[in-house]
């Protein structure tokens, strides 16, 4: 557990130094606890994508706690801030939420959706690899049929992960290809099906309707599937993530989010924004371009890594 926190910490080092450390620096430079200091903290939070409502909430709670304990020393502010942020993230969170611990459902069907270029195909490759390593029989369905290159790309990931793929000629109707894939998984006793879909703008009605068709064809092949529908969100997109999630959730009921490119963002605050605005849990974090670079989003570990806390919670 400690080593997971450490390695996550390294991967998140960019995000960490730019939020909590920046706040600590600001507070220290400021020297006294006053309104100006709170404004500066709030500004940093908003710049880091927490959203204004969430930034307000954090600041209000911080003020309350500092007042309650009659804190006058600015050096202690960081500790109080970490506590407030930790409390907010940990509210209503189930313990030990492991994406890779499959329930007793076979095949377990997971659809990946999202806007263009967010990392759907890459995430599927990483997830396939994890399941394959755990001894699961995995089928990837190449449901992004718009471009031949997309089919080749997901085939390369299937090969790397050492799992099977159902692929067709390009330009076939994605819903029918996906139907074939899920039906094959049912017939051949696969443990897990990972469905790749084409990137689509959440504001385009026609593409959102196509998602509904895909959902229906998955259900035709396996009545209670998809068991998970994961929206893959690029964590560097900031506020737009919320609107993406709302639109996709209307078209195809989402069960969770995968936040990719967390290694490259200086703005870890998006996690707080999501917590405030969506009822959809973050399940996976993408922390690099390699096949191993996926982590369970485990709130406790994340909070420790992100807010620079170690095992003892100090
Ligand atoms: N640094 C980093 N790069 C990532 C991560 N996930 C994906 N990428 C990169 O993001 C780019 C797009 O990834 P894809 O997996 O092709 O994205 P996609 O959502 O399938 O794209 P479309 O199918 O075109 O919509 C690639 O260059 C990936 O290497 C991540 O967690 N960290
Ligand atoms: Mg793709």
- What averages of pLDDT result for each successive group of 10 residues across the chain (314 residues)? 67 63 85 93 90 94 96 89 88 78 96 97 98 98 95 98 97 97 98 98 94 98 97 90 94 95 78 88 93 89 68 39
Residue 234 φ then ψ, to 5°: -80, 115
Neighbours of 206 (CB within 10 A): 7
Of the ligands numbered here, which is closest to the C-alpha atom of 122? 1
User: Do residues 196 and 121 make contact, with C-beta atoms less than 8 angstroms apart?
Assistant: yes
Residue 288, classed as helix, strand or coil, is: coil
| Domains parsed from the chain with CATH numbers | 2-90 (1.20.120.140), 108-297 (3.40.50.300)
d(CA 203, CA 186): 33
Structure tokens at 311: 């095992």
Neighbours of 40 (CB within 10 A): 16
Q: Ligand 1, from 289, 292, 295, 297: best to mutate by most atoms within 8 Å of Cβ? A: 289
The pLDDT, as a whole number, for residue 3 is 65
pTM of the model as a whole: 0.90
Q: Ligand 1 pocket by C-beta < 6 Å: which residues? A: 114, 116-122, 144, 150, 199, 232, 260-261, 263-264, 286-289, 293
The pLDDT, as a whole number, for residue 303 is 75
DSSP for 104-162 reads S-SSEEEEEE-STTSSHHHHHHHHHHHHHHTT--EEEEE---S-HHHHHHHHHHHHHHT
The pLDDT, as a whole number, for residue 78 is 87
What is the length of the chain?
Answer: 314
The pLDDT, as a whole number, for residue 90 is 82
Of 265, 306, 264, the closest CA to residue 289 belongs to 264
The pLDDT, as a whole number, for residue 2 is 55
Task: List CB-based neighbours of ion ligand 2 within 5 Å.
Answer: 120-121
- Residues 168-183 as b/e (b if ≥16 CB within 10 A, e otherwise) read beeebebbebbbbbbb
Structure tokens at 144: 């992004």
d(CA 264, CA 297): 17
d(CA 3, CA 251): 39
Instruction: Determine the distance separating the centroid of ligand 1 and the alpha carbon of 69, expressed in angstroms.
Output: 46
User: Do residues 21 and 28 make contact, with C-beta atoms less than 8 angstroms apart?
Assistant: no
Structure tokens at 61: 């709670």
Instruction: Determine the distance separating the centroid of ligand 1 and the alpha carbon of 41, expressed in angstroms.
Output: 32
DSSP for 211-245 reads HHHHHHHHHHHSTT--SEEEEEEEGGGTTHHHHHH
The residue whose C-alpha atom lies closest to atom 17 belonging to ligand 1 is 119
User: Do residues 14 and 265 make contact, with C-beta atoms less than 8 angstroms apart?
Assistant: yes
H and E: helices and strands count for the chain: 12, 8
d(CA 128, CA 196): 11
User: Do residues 144 and 174 make contact, with C-beta atoms less than 8 angstroms apart?
Assistant: yes
d(CA 244, CA 233): 8
């Amino acid at each position: 557990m400690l080593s997971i926190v450490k390695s996550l910490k390294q991967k998140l080092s960019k995000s960490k130094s730019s939020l909590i450390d920046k706040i600590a620096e600001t507070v220290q430079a400021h020297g006294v606890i006053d309104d100006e200091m709170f404004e500066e903290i709030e500004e940093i939070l908003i710049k880091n994508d927490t959203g204004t409502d969430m930034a307000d909430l954090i600041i209000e709670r911080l003020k309350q706690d500092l007042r309650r304990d009659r804190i006058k020393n600015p050096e202690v502010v960081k500790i109080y801030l970490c506590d407030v942020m930790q409390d907010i993230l940990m509210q209503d969170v189930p313990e030990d939420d492991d994406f890779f611990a499959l329930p007793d459902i076979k095949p377990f069907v997971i659809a990946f959706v999202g806007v263009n270029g967010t990392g759907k195909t890459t995430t599927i490759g990483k997830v396939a690899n994890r399941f394959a390593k755990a001894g699961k029989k995995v089928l990837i369905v190449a449901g992004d049929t718009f471009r031949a290159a997309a089919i080749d790309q997901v085939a390369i990931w299937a090969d790397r992960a050492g799992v099977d793929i159902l692929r067709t000629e390009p330009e076939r109707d994605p819903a029918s290809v996906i139907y074939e894939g899920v039906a094959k998984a049912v017939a051949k006793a696969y443990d897990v099906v990972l469905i790749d879909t084409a990137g689509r703008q959440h504001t385009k009605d026609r593409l959102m309707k196509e998602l509904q068709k895909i959902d229906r064809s998955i259900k035709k092949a396996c009545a209670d599937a998809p068991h998970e529908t994961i929206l893959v969100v690029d964590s560097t997109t900031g506020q737009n993530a919320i609107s993406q999630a709302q639109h996709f959730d209307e078209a195809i009921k989402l069960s969770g989010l995968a936040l990719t490119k967390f290694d490259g963002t200086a703005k870890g605050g998006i996690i707080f924004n999501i917590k405030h605005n969506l009822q959809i849990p973050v399940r996976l974090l993408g922390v690099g371009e390699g096949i191993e670079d996926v982590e369970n989003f485990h709130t406790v570990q994340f909070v420790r890594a992100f807010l620079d806390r170690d095992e003892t919670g100090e």
